[in-house]
Structure 1
Amino acid sequence: MGVSGRRRRRLLVPVGLAALLVVASTGLTAAAAPSRADPLQQQVDAIHDTGTVGVLAEVTSPGTRDIARAGTAEMGSGKPMPQNGRFRIGSATKTFTAAVMLQLVSEGRVSLGDTVQRWLPGVVHGNGNDGSRITVRELLQHTSGVPEVLPYIPALGSADGYRTERFRSYTPEQLVGLAMRTPPEFPPGTDWSYSNTNYILAAMIIQRATGRSWAQEVDDRIIRPLGLTGTGVPGAFPFITGPHARSYADFGTDTSTDVTALDPSMAVGSGSIISTTHDLSRFYAALLGGRLLAPAQLDAMTTTMPAPELGDGLRYGLGVGEIPLSCGGSYFGHVGELLGYHSWVGATRDGTRTAVVYTTSDGDADTQQAMGTLMDEELCGSHS
């Protein structure tokens, strides 16, 4: 099925990646430069000027760590954005999940060529969906054709749905069952289409292969070894502990709703992790720097294919996007979104330079483009 015929999905989906293509192809003219002298602060102010409540960015390179912030931590207050505040990272969670799966591949416990049916018998079936035809690689690469579950989650769709369903818990099996109400997007391996259900299934396979939950494996293999003290997998716990800014969603209206409290179990494996800009910088630096994966598995992760659903020039590997830079070359990263928190994280190919930015409200296309400009300019290293 062509891209134009697919259901467009907004929540947890890296819609902002397409905005960077405009930035990368036309140069760094998307955001007007404020008068402040510090370039990172200028970029953060430009994002805030598009209408977001709060913005924070962090850029790291060997021996340096720069932070800039704008706006407030709570609408209508004078509270500044916390410098190492915790937030829901949304789909950047997928990079954690892919890294764990690739560690299992390195250990010989899972193969990228294994079928979903082998690990999860009878789970992907009905309405033309067939787990015996889908591989682990296709899940991680978004080439499985597995349909999206998000349209079946009321808390993500409207303010009324959020208020009614924000504390509802889901099991992974329930989530996949909801997705199976829809026919596949295309036969496995024949096209590319972003689906959070892929990573819910990946989390289920990790649990089946290890005998331990996805959350335990992420904690033991990534969070604790890297000392990511601001990062956690909340399960069904709906609140963010520690310093954090509140998040706001407009659900396509002119009214903002405080959506900070949310049971994130609908995003197991795909979008539920809570972290900080500093921890995300350390994770992506370690990942791209070869400290989490063996060379063969890192090569598999960063071997990308066109992702036409997102736009010309955008490519996707296993849990990471490859985004072109206006200065030449590309970087690896991910966009994340989960009700109000919008983030963008990326690192150079060798992991020596990272950039992370997040906002606490929806903004608009100008917001995404300004975020893309920041990532492009900082990862090009023009202000090193």
Structure 2
Amino acid sequence: MIKRNRTKLSLVVGAVCATMLTLATPAAHAGTAEDDHSATLAALKAFQASAGPGAAIHAGGPGESWTLSAGTGTINSDRPIKSDEHFRIGSQTKTFTAVVLLQLVDEGKVSLDAPIADYLPGVVTGNGYDGTRITVRQLLQHTSGLAAYTPQVVIDKPESNPDGTYELAELVRKGLSFAPVSAPGAGFTYSNTNYLILGMLVEKVTGQRVHETVTRRVIEPLGLGRTVFPAPGQRALPTPAVNGYHGLRVGGFYLWTPALTYDPSLFSSAGAVISTLEDLTTFYQALVAGRVLSASGLAEMQKVREVGPKVGFGLGIGRKELSCGIVAWGHDGGVPGYFSQTMVTENGRHASVVTNALFQVNAPVDQMHDLLDTALCEDAARRS
């Protein structure tokens, strides 16, 4: 969700071999929503023209939802992305992880302002780091001073287990090999390492693997039937699924190759969850409506630090004031093959978008924000 002065990470840097050259003339698929939401459709087409083979948005207001798509979910075919198809949500996972931590705070098992060393002694140490000075709150809000870090699929990968899975402790060790960027609390630096450490914290406090805890505490109670936090080794997407790609755009042409396969434990509590546009809408709406956390827990989550004009980041969730004056909450995410974002308002408006490619350069961040802003503000104008 956040324009982090371009510090929002792309979760993979890898070599891409082009396998297809196609003229970029995407079709649009919308049904009656195409006529009712023409401004959003135009913004979707503009986004998809700079994004992957396909893109879709699932949006609406209280009691109403609609879906628009452009391009294709599968290259060499005319197959629109649908709102109930699975994809990897990347860093939107962080909101799920933050919810679990705040539930543990509600239960008195974790203190937001306690140092992480109280719970994980000896983990955040060395290379200029001191876990006695870094709090749980700072990890949740990316103000810990930890360096930006992205686990890599191809180059400079963390050390894996013999079966190709990854341990959180090894991912954290790799992240901490990069020197601090600031003193704890002094600045905002978005880093996966913060949420990998928080995954270790969840496991230490609950005695369960983080994917099990998020499933039991968040996914199952909300009835998110098409949302999965995959276990280590569970590499396949459930069906139906959006196919993900790597790619390169050159003028009106694009080159696509299927996204690289990786083990979900590589991103774990920072980015492993699989979901759909519909389920993400349900999750964020329930969260903002106060049906997931206590009132005090939600209030803590929504205490934001300003990170840009009209943009703030709380504890695992971002806040943005839209062009029509509405405040929206949500998060974005990118992993190999997918770039997505969900935003909801406190009065029931919602918009969730995905494209089936992730770009390392010239990522269509601005176009995505314009699309979400258009959808949420267009719906507000229709209801006013």
User: For the superposition of Structure 1 and Structure 2, which TM-score range results when normalised by the shorter chain?
Assistant: 0.7 to 0.9
* Counterpart contact for 2:54–2:81, Cα < 8 Å: yes
The alignment partner of 1:299 has SS state of helix
Deviation string 1:322-357 (CA, Å, 9 cap, x unpaired) is 112111142111111001200010111x25111100
Q: 1:6 to 1:323 in 2, by over 3 A?
A: closer
Residue of 318, 324, 327 corresponding to 1:327:
324
Residue of 242, 247, 252 corresponding to 1:250:
247
Percent identity at matched positions? 36
Deviation string 1:232-288 (CA, Å, 9 cap, x unpaired) is 011222211111121112389985331163212121111110000000000000000
TM-score, L = length of structure 2: 0.84
* Counterpart contact for 1:287–1:351, Cα < 8 Å: no
Deviation string 1:92-141 (CA, Å, 9 cap, x unpaired) is 11111111110111111111012111111111111111111111000000
Of Structure 1 and Structure 2, which has the larger fraction of its residues in helix?
Answer: 1
Structure 2 counterpart of 1:95? 95
* Counterpart contact for 2:103–2:293, Cα < 8 Å: yes
Structure 1 counterpart of 2:183? 187
Deviation at 1:36, TM superposition (A): 9.0
Structure 1 counterpart of 2:302? 302
* Counterpart contact for 1:124–1:131, Cα < 8 Å: yes
The size of the alignment, in residue pairs, is 350
Distance in structure 2 (CA, Å) of the matches to 1:117 and 1:202: 12
* Counterpart contact for 1:322–1:330, Cα < 8 Å: yes
TM-score, L = length of structure 1: 0.84
Q: 5+ residue gaps in structure 1?
A: 14-33
Q: 1:205 to 1:366 in 2, by over 3 A?
A: closer
* Counterpart contact for 2:62–2:349, Cα < 8 Å: yes
Q: 1:209 to 1:351 in 2, by over 3 A?
A: farther
Structure 2 counterpart of 1:382? 381
* Counterpart contact for 1:44–1:57, Cα < 8 Å: yes
Deviation string 1:296-343 (CA, Å, 9 cap, x unpaired) is 110111110122xxx443210000111121111421111110012000
* Counterpart contact for 2:54–2:73, Cα < 8 Å: yes
Residue of 171, 178, 188 corresponding to 2:167:
171
Structure 2 counterpart of 1:29? none
Q: 1:65 to 1:171 in 2, by over 3 A?
A: same
Of Structure 1 and Structure 2, which has the larger fraction of its residues in strand?
Answer: 2
Alignment-mate amino acid for residue 224 of structure 1? E
How does 1:1-384 map onto structure 2 within 5 Å? 9-11=9-11, 38-150=38-150, 153-155=151-153, 168-236=164-232, 237-250=234-247, 255-259=255-259, 261-307=261-307, 311-348=308-345, 350=346, 352-362=348-358, 365=362, 367-380=364-377, 381-384=380-383
Distance in structure 2 (CA, Å) of the matches to 1:43 and 1:361: 18
Deviation at 1:220, TM superposition (A): 1.2
Q: 1:8 to 1:86 in 2, by over 3 A?
A: closer
Alignment-mate amino acid for residue 266 of structure 2? M
Distance in structure 2 (CA, Å) of the matches to 1:251 and 1:168: 28
Alignment-mate amino acid for residue 99 of structure 1? V
Distance in structure 2 (CA, Å) of the matches to 1:226 and 1:36: 30
Q: 5+ residue gaps in structure 2?
A: 14-33
Q: 1:12 to 1:280 in 2, by over 3 A?
A: farther
* Counterpart contact for 1:82–1:243, Cα < 8 Å: no
* Counterpart contact for 2:12–2:153, Cα < 8 Å: no
Deviation at 1:379, TM superposition (A): 2.1
Distance in structure 1 (CA, Å) of the matches to 2:69 and 2:5: 40
* Counterpart contact for 2:62–2:347, Cα < 8 Å: no
* Counterpart contact for 1:238–1:264, Cα < 8 Å: yes
